Amino acid sequence: MNETILYTLIHTIHIYSVFIYGGFLFVDNLFMAKMTQTLSDDEYKKAREAIMMHVRKVVPYALMVAVASGIFMFINIFGEIAPEGMSQFQIILSIKATLGLWLGFRGINQKLFGINPWLFKSHLFPFVLVIIIIFLSQMMWV
């Protein structure tokens, strides 16, 4: 398979998996959290669990695919470091990769090993990281 076609395919898979993961975080933080305003505590717990039982089947795996495809793309586009140091593109890409790897490490520990986060137990911090990664994605091509 042509290298450009392979990269485009992996990039497309990456975008879709990020949409699934980031979309869940968006809905969870901006909409599901507001259900407490109209539902009792018991109703909220039941409604959230009814949604989360389906989320747990898809979203963690989307995160793992996003991280794996991100690693592939990083390896393919990072390039050589010039004698004068890393370019702005390489610096921003490195920051993005570090944040993505942290999200992946957190998600893999939760899904595969049952290790819950010690810190930042809500989905707010991962949501903020995803927003930062999106902004960095736009900045690195400037």
Per the CB < 8 A criterion, the answer to whether 74 and 97 are in contact is yes
Q: Which amino acid is at 10?
A: I
- How confident is the model over 32-78, as pLDDT tens digits? 989 999 999 999 999 999 999 999 999 999 999 999 999 999 999 99
Alpha-carbon distance of 102 to 100, in angstroms, equals 5
Per the CB < 8 A criterion, the answer to whether 21 and 106 are in contact is no
1: confidence class by pLDDT, cuts 50, 70, 90:
confident
Average pLDDT for the chain = 93
Alpha-carbon distance of 79 to 100, in angstroms, equals 19
pTM of the model: 0.89
- Indicate the domain borders of the chain: 3-139
120: confidence class by pLDDT, cuts 50, 70, 90:
low
3-class secondary structure, 107? helix
In this predicted structure, what is the pLDDT of residue 73? Answer: 96
Question: What letter would DSSP give residue 80?
Answer: P
